[in-house]
Amino acid sequence: MRDCISRALSWVLSVLAPRRPGRHSAAFLDDQAEPTPVASWTKPWPTPTPEHVRALYTPLRGEEVSLIRPYCRMDDTLELRAICERRRAAVLATLGVDWPYGYDGDQFQALSTGAMAVTA
């Protein structure tokens, strides 16, 4: 008896309240409108906020993005090369090996250019 009642109720509900098309049917895909792009911050800020915090939440534009990433800057790389060369010379000095190292702006470079000017 319960089975007959449940079948009758399900038939009445299917007639009175038609279902939407399934997710994978063509009718479901045809009826969908294009979604409108929504900005993450459409309302203005409710409280006073520093400019550096606002910059974190504003969307990036292509012309504002720097092409060189901040962690790949050349001046830091050159600085690290000089540090590595000094460390290498220190390690080799503990082993008794003389390692002539040089970097831009060291005192040895000025001495060598001065000695070359005297001999010439």
Q: pTM for the complete prediction?
A: 0.28
End-to-end CA distance of the chain: 118
- Predicted pLDDT of residue 40: 59
| Residue 87 predicted with pLDDT over 70 | yes
Asked whether residue 23 is assigned to any structural domain, the reply reads no
Asked whether residue 43 is assigned to any structural domain, the reply reads no
Range of the domain at 104: 70-119
Asked whether residue 82 is assigned to any structural domain, the reply reads yes
Cα separation, 84 vs 8, in Å, equals 83
pLDDT in tens, 14-30: 888 877 767 777 777 77
Asked whether residue 115 is assigned to any structural domain, the reply reads yes
Asked whether residue 9 is assigned to any structural domain, the reply reads no
Contact 81, 101 (CB under 8 A): no
Asked whether residue 25 is assigned to any structural domain, the reply reads no
Q: What is the DSSP letter of 105?
A: T
* Domains identified in the chain, total number: 1
Query: Residue type at 72?
Result: C
Asked whether residue 109 is assigned to any structural domain, the reply reads yes
Asked whether residue 47 is assigned to any structural domain, the reply reads no
Please, which contacts does 41-46 make with residues 24 or more away whose CB atoms are closer than 8 Å?
Answer: none
- 59 phi-psi bin (left φ>0, alpha ψ -120 to 50, beta other): beta
Give the CA angle between residues 61, 66, 70 to the nearest 5°.
130
Cα separation, 21 vs 24, in Å, equals 8
